Amino acid sequence: MNNVSSSQSTQALTASTLAFTVCFAVWTIFSIIGIKIKNDLGLNDTQFGILVATPILTGSLSRLFLGIWADQYGGRMAFTLQMLTTACAAYLLTKVSTYPMFIVAALGLGLAGGSFSVGITYVSKWYSKKRQGTALGIFGMGNVGAAVTNFGAPFLLIAMDGQWQGVAQVYSMVLAITAVVFYLFTKDDPASEERKRKGIQHESFKQQMAPLKNIQVWRFSLYYFFVFGAFVALALWLPRYYVGAYGLELKTAGMLAACYALPGSVFRALGGWLSDVIGARKVMYWTFIASILCTAVMSYPSTDYTVAGINGPIQFNITIPLEIFVLLTVVLGFFMSLGKAAVYKHIPVYYPNHVGSVGGVVGLIGGLGGFALPITFGVMNDLIGVWTSCFMLLTLLVTIALIWMHSVIIAMDKKIDPSRGDPRYLPELELNPHDG
């Protein structure tokens, strides 16, 4: 990194973050226009969950090969081509009219989510290890695109006289322009330029995938399944949740969902900085413990009670007040934001030559959470009719992640010093990628 100036690094980071923000806004567009499509087609909650989750599936699966391509051919070209392809898919979305074709179009739109693995590969090449946590945290703030969609898309929908097709067309044009601007104002990363200058051949697909034998990669993936996958799932599901559980209008529901998505994005830079300064592991503990507390409270179902009164039975309902529920989503989003940065702090440190493949797999598994969870939320809601069941599931998920993380830490600590078996002892350093 000695031959890279601060201005070059900043320019690459700024352009990548802005591009990722636009991609993320496009990736979550169904959280708003999906409700209009649901009403137009008469879909149930399960079908709606599948529709909004389908782009997340493509975005998740594409992260692996897009990350590898970014490692092999450079993030600048991979990022540009990915955005142009997605812009075409977003425009073609407006030309379909049946549910099966919407699913097909949504698969193409989902390529927007693959931008993450391209971006982290590209950005990490511009920074030293000591600064990668902060840099990747800033890049990850592009998740704010979900808040942009939840807040802005309802107003754009109103401006388009309720025609969701106009919203999709505007999004496609903005993404195409972003792709061109990104290519014009960025350069190939230092690693790619050095390979070209020295004539070094890129690693084969098999070599790129070698680190995936380490169980540590899959442990990181579980963490990301919650901190990112559940974040995306709730960003997609909360507008529907507010409409169904609290009877709010779509515009209000979208703005309240943005209150969750905003801190779930903008504080990622803080999470990266904290991971650089105090260690990613502490940040992960904060994230999991706070998330368990929030989701456990949010799991309390709306319950009707009947008690005896002087003039006969009195019926009343106990539910979480809207104000408290919104506050809990803000707190949850904040800690998820820290956790997302903490997970990705590990990857360029342990796997500096395989950021694309390892980051792609972790992002893939996390993205699959964003795909599977909204569908699961819809199915659970259709089957048992309890709106808060989604938070019950999330409480179970994050508890499993915390237990696994803590058990591995204790086991590794005993290898370092068997006398240190106290669970309160939380080491900051891991042994090596093969140990867990």
User: pLDDT tens digits, the chain, 436 residues: what are they?
Assistant: 556 678 888 899 999 999 999 998 998 888 788 888 888 888 887 888 788 778 878 888 888 788 888 877 788 889 999 999 999 999 988 888 888 988 988 899 989 988 888 888 888 888 877 777 788 888 888 878 877 887 888 888 888 888 888 999 999 999 999 999 999 999 888 877 776 666 655 555 566 666 667 778 888 889 999 998 998 889 888 988 898 888 888 888 888 988 888 787 778 888 888 888 888 888 999 999 999 999 999 988 765 544 444 565 555 445 788 999 999 999 999 999 999 888 888 777 777 767 667 777 887 888 788 888 988 988 888 888 888 889 999 999 999 999 998 988 888 777 665 555 444 443 344 444 444 4
**Does any domain span residue 165?**
yes
Side-chain-side CA neighbours of residue 294 (13 Å): 22
DSSP state of 300: P
- Tell me, yes or no, whether 197 lies in a domain: no
Position of tokens 């044009």?
Answer: 173
* Closest C-alpha among 287, 244, 283, 237 to residue 260: 237
Tell me the C-alpha distance between 63 and 362, whole Å. 9
Tokens of 314: 């009195």
Q: Is residue 2 part of a domain?
A: no
Closest CA to 131 of 311, 252, 1: 1
Q: What is the pLDDT of residue 207?
A: 62
How many domains does the chain contain in total? 1
Q: In angstroms, rounded to a whole number, what is the distance separating the alpha carbons of residues 19 and 6?
A: 20
Residue 194, domain member (yes or no): no
Residue 108 lies in a domain: yes
The predicted pLDDT at position 436 comes to 46
306 forms beta bridges with: 315
What is the distance between the alpha carbons of residues 199 and 115, in angstroms, rounded to a whole number? 27
CA-to-CA separations, 337 to 154, 329, 419, in angstroms, rounded: 24, 12, 35
Instruction: Put residue 308 in one of left, alpha, beta given phi > 0 → left and psi -120 to 50 → alpha.
Output: beta
d(CA 166, CA 157): 8
In terms of residue numbers, what domain contains 387? 10-189+205-435
Burial 233-253 (b: 16+ CB within 10 A, else e): bbbbbbbbbbbebbebebbeb
Nearest CA among 216, 225, 335 for reference residue 274: 335
Q: Do the domain assignments include residue 149? A: yes
pLDDT at 306: 46
* DSSP per-residue letters across 306-345: EE--TTS-EEEEE---HHHHHHHHHHHHHHHHHHHHHHHH
Structure tokens at 56: 């997340």
Q: Does some domain include residue 3? A: no
195 domain residue, yes or no: no
Give the C-alpha separation, 258 to 32, whole Å: 11
Do 162 and 40 meet the contact criterion of CB atoms below 8 Å apart?
no
CATH number of the domain where residue 334 is located: 1.20.1250.20
The DSSP annotation for 82-146 comes to HHHHHHHHHHHGGG--SHHHHHHHHHHHGGGGGHHHHHHHHHHTTS-HHHHHHHHHHHHGGGGHH
- Sequence-ordered list of residues with C-beta below 8 angstroms from that of 259, at least 6 positions apart, any chain: 326, 329, 330
